[in-house]
């Protein structure tokens, strides 16, 4: 059986590097080209030293791309949408891991991204690439969007409760995401300068983060449209390289016992290959912990019930470069071609690390 030929644009960044690492070991895929405007002509391992002796691929210039079966776009936000028609002439199926096709209407891009979308006619066509919510749509999809790393963590933690209809939406949903430095990308800046970043616990977007739009959109599908509940989302940078930990406060419309909450989460995720329920009675890792998820495609979800306040505290964790980006993209690719979803994604993470 011939392998699917995959090319990657924007392969010199962190997400691109993870995608290369994963696809080099994918049994159904051949990487045909990896493009980078800044690294053209250089070996891939010059940007991704973990790939030494693993691959002899060299970066090509994006202008030198040829046709392939699937094209992954790992470009900064706002870039791929401006050139999407050209990219679609190179491959019948495109997976864009930026934020350019995540939201469904031009109005949402004006509100959350602050600009007009250059290809608004494609927004309704693009499938939001989270298999746990859109698995049935992926096999026929020609354009698949990436998902925001903090949005993915939050949505996977909260979706079972919204699907079950137990959330009191007259009370705001309050959640905070703590995120590692790699989420800001490979390009250096003042906030990533070591003397300023080391030891930091920095609130960098306490209100108005664009991933809020994805929560409203995706959780709203369980209500038949956009979520009407107020969502108060805050983002905090902490001293780790990989990982996201989301803590969400969800108030219920009835005072459910813990076993009822367990039932809701088990029914939602018992057949999901990459969502694990983590809630132990004791031990250091009794709740989700991003540290042990580094390099894996798992999202760990836990909770604690506060019956006095009729509240569930949902805790979710993942690796922002894996389930929050490249790994989730490969999982979506597997769904698109009807393959086992775990192909190329079986690494379990490390402990200790």
Which residues make up each annotated binding site for NADP(+)?
Answer: 12-15, 320
Pull the structure tokens for residue 108.
């949402």
Residues 100 and 77 sit within 8 Å (Cβ to Cβ): yes
Q: Order of strands across the sheet with 275-277?
A: 201-205, 231-238, 173-179, 244-251, 311-318, 299-306, 275-277
List CB contacts of 33: < 8 A, sequence separation 6 or more.
7, 8, 60, 64, 65, 66, 68
Show binding-site residues: 12-15, 320
Which is the catalytic residue, given 60, 68, 74, 149?
Answer: 149
What is d(CA 7, CA 276) in angstroms, rounded to the nearest whole number?
31
The CA-atom distances, in angstroms, between 285 and each of 242, 263, 345 are: 17, 22, 22
Could you tell me which of 36, 123, 37, 23 has the C-alpha nearest to residue 70? 23
Kind of pairing, strands 201-205 and 4-9? Answer: unpaired
Is 335 part of the annotated catalytic residue set? no
Strand partners, 32: none
111: number of Cβ within 10 Å: 13
Strand residues in the chain grouped as ranges (E): 4-9, 29-35, 59-60, 70-73, 93-96, 127-128, 143-145, 173-179, 201-205, 231-238, 244-251, 275-277, 299-306, 311-318
Active site amino acids: 149
């Amino acid at each position: 059986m011939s392998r699917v030929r995959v090319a990657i644009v924007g392969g010199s960044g962190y997400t691109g590097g993870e995608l290369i690492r994963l696809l080099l070991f994918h049994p159904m895929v051949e990487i045909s080209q990896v493009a980078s405007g800044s690294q053209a002509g250089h070996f891939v391992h010059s940007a991704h030293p973990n790939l030494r002796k693993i691959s002899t691929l060299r970066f090509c210039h994006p202008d030198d791309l040829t046709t392939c079966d699937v094209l992954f776009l790992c470009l900064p936000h706002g870039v791929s949408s401006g050139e999407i028609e050209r990219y679609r002439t190179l491959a019948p199926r495109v997976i864009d891991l930026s934020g350019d096709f995540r939201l469904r209407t031009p109005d949402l891009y004006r509100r959350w991204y602050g600009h007009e979308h250059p290809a608004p006619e494609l927004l309704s066509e693009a499938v939001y690439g989270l298999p746990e919510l859109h698995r049935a749509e992926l096999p026929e999809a020609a354009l698949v969007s990436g998902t925001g790393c903090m949005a993915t963590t939050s949505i996977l933690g909260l979706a079972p409760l919204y699907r079950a209809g137990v959330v009191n939406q007259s009370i705001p949903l309050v959640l905070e995401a703590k995120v590692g430095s790699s989420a800001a990308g490979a390009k250096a800046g003042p906030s990533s300068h070591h003397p300023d970043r080391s030891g930091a616990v920095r609130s960098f977007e306490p209100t108005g983060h664009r991933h809020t739009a994805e929560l409203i959109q995706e959780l709203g599908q369980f209500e038949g449209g956009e979520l009407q509940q107020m969502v108060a989302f805050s983002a905090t940078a902490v001293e780790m390289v990989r990982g996201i930990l989301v803590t969400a406060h969800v108030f219920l419309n009835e005072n459910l016992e813990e076993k009822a909450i367990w039932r809701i989460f088990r029914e939602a995720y018992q057949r999901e290959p990459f969502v694990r329920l983590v809630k132990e009675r004791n031990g250091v890792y009794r709740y989700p912990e991003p540290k042990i998820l580094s390099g894996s495609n798992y999202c760990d979800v836990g909770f604690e019930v506060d019956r006095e306040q009729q509240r569930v505290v949902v805790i979710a964790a993942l690796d922002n470069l894996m389930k929050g980006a490249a790994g989730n993209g490969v999982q979506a690719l597997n769904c698109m071609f009807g393959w086992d979803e775990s192909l190329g994604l079986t690494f379990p993470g490390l402990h200790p690390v």
